[in-house]
Chain A
């Protein structure tokens, strides 16, 4: 028994030694570096998005190679959360409590960010430019430390609604949407944007589950409903099917395709460029697979960056352009912070982006934030596919201005 007691004492001693050091004055910041934390799904069902997290790391490496920000290197720490909410909680707690990062940046996924939303705001850690299109991230009153990035889905739905009201006064609208938050956000945006007219105009709404094998029957139903406007809220796999099927059965509505599936390489080409002719979408970034940008300086710089810092990354994956751009935004925030990298100041500077432009956003799109506006990108422009490229038309639309 005595031996056992000694053992227990030893074990406790060992644990006491592992006690962490006391928290620094400004967490995550030393004279030579600033720690930025991130979680991404490098494994699991959403692992295709993991490339964004890798691009972020590659971009910060480039920044560090060029001397860092105000003399400090960016120490980017990223963990795999497998797109699982409990894992995200664990990893984010590790980032905040153990690694003591100065800020969280681009944590990816709606369910995963929902799981950490309350926690990071209680801990008062900047939770910047989250990688999800849900609307709730722009809520500075209740969640002052969280900030979105891309135009949210409801905003985009409203943009289509405004265009439909103006150009198709006698529209009969058929909607196909994914049965989850993402699909419902788009649907709500369209409904809200149409207002009173929604009841009269929308003739049929169809849903699908992300696990469904096909959506052929939904397309047939929509055609039979007599709809002449098709609002297509689908992820790439189903967008391909929807475009193909409606073409095959000779249904030719005005076809609005959500931004989520606007890639030439992953959607329009597989669906058939001919069948894709006439599609309308709303864009805020340059589609990197669109030939019209092939001599654009921003695009060429990005290609050079990819070749040097992320040679394994695909040049036709929009995620890599997305990561590149949002990493530029984070770098901008850190630059604005000057020598004060306290969490308060990082948030303050993130709320103080004024008319910033980024090379891979559409020309004219400006990023603006304020203490009451946590939605950095709020402009989009409509584009029509002419069989070869997205042709932008009309002016930049800002749906936030209701």
Chain B
């Protein structure tokens, strides 16, 4: 592992660049980067479940949809200020995720993947049934929020900062969660559930809780997407969305917090590049990119960078003859 001070430096630099973006980029680009942060938050949630806890979910698009609709319905039906709807969306998804996690305990690996896949298939249709609230296939049109407290920002800049702020917060919360006792328990369940149980970890509780927390992250991301896009419709949350999330965490790097950012950049921008390269077969180009990445970076982007940093440190350390040898 590279030393922690490094991680902080890189994160700090990234943050400085991110804070400078709104004053250099066009509103359209800001919108795209807001989308990246939203995806990153959703990927972080999925990564906690799949990367750290070892439960595969093909249904996180469903939680994303639940989060988005919670926000949209609250704003549209009850005129709740959007600021309140975002944590509520997280809470709703926490509960839904936890409840879904309980029956899912009986399912392992591929079987769980199928159960969650069913969730992803069902949600867009269920949304159409509650037409009175959700507007059916017509969806719900929202208004873009203006910057509060008299800040001199346009709506895109404000939303950008909102997304960035919530992303940073969720990164801090996630790394704290994963570094401590709870994190060790979560990882132990992935690596060897029997050993974990015999060490006194309540596997059932932890698994359901992880499911809930993961869903909550994705739900907040969904809520933010509803606010930034200012429109929700069942067509926005098809199965493909869930699969895109899975692609994102694998490309970004499983069991890596920073991987969420790389994965989000990939799922946001690579389809557009593919379209620029070939209008006729963009998804074939996308496929080539995907295979290329998996072949060149089997541990995902974050994993590859980490490995490179470790190697570089080792090489630097050795000629000086430091007795420590290779860093852990």
Contacts and interface: CB of A to CB of B under 8 A. Distances in A.
Interface of A: 1, 4, 7-8, 11-12, 15-16, 18-20, 42-45, 78-80, 82-86, 89-90, 93-94, 96-98, 110-112, 114-115, 117-119, 179-181, 209, 211
B275 interface: yes
Contact of A115 (B12, B143, B231): B231
A114 B138 contact: yes
Nearest to B31: A93
Given A16-B24, A94-B28, A98-B28, A117 B236 contact: no
Interface of B: 9, 12-13, 16-17, 20-21, 24-29, 31-32, 35, 125, 128, 136-139, 141, 143, 225, 229-233, 235-236, 238, 240, 275, 279, 282-283
Contact of B233 (A11, A80, A114, A117): A114
Contacts of B35: 86, 90
Contact of A181 (B20, B25, B138, B225): B138
B240 A12 contact: no
Contact of A111 (B12, B137, B283): B137
Given A84-B236, A89-B229, A180 B275 contact: no
A49 to B, nearest CB: 13
A71 to B, nearest CB: 27
Contacts of B16: 8, 12
B31 A18 contact: no
B282 A80 contact: yes
B235 A97 contact: no
Contacts of B225: 86
A180 B128 contact: yes
Contacts, number: 104
A85 B31 contact: no
B125 A115 contact: no
B234 to A, nearest CB: 8
Nearest to A53: B279
A18 B21 CA distance: 11
- Which of B24, B136, B282 gathers most chain A CB within 10 Å? B24
B139 A86 contact: no
B231 A181 contact: no
A85 B141 contact: no
A98 B35 CA distance: 17
Nearest to B225: A86
B275 A80 contact: yes
Contact of B139 (A85, A98, A179): A85
Nearest to B241: A84
B154 to A, nearest CB: 12
A114 B141 contact: yes
Contacts of B9: 1, 4
Contacts of A20: 26
- 6 A-B pairs with the lowest CB-CB distances in the bound complex, closest first: A97-B28, A115-B231, A180-B137, A15-B24, A111-B233, A111-B235
A114 B139 contact: yes
A134 B28 CA distance: 28
Nearest to B226: A86
Nearest to A184: B136
A89 B236 CA distance: 11
Contacts of A16: 24
B231 A15 contact: no
24 contacts: A15-B20, A18-B24, A43-B282, A80-B275, A80-B279, A83-B235, A84-B238, A85-B233, A85-B235, A85-B236, A86-B225, A89-B231, A90-B32, A90-B35, A93-B27, A96-B28, A97-B27, A97-B28, A98-B28, A98-B29, A111-B236, A112-B235, A115-B233, A118-B143
A83 B233 CA distance: 11
B235 A84 contact: yes
A80 to B, nearest CB: 6
Given A8-B17, A15-B17, A117 B31 contact: no
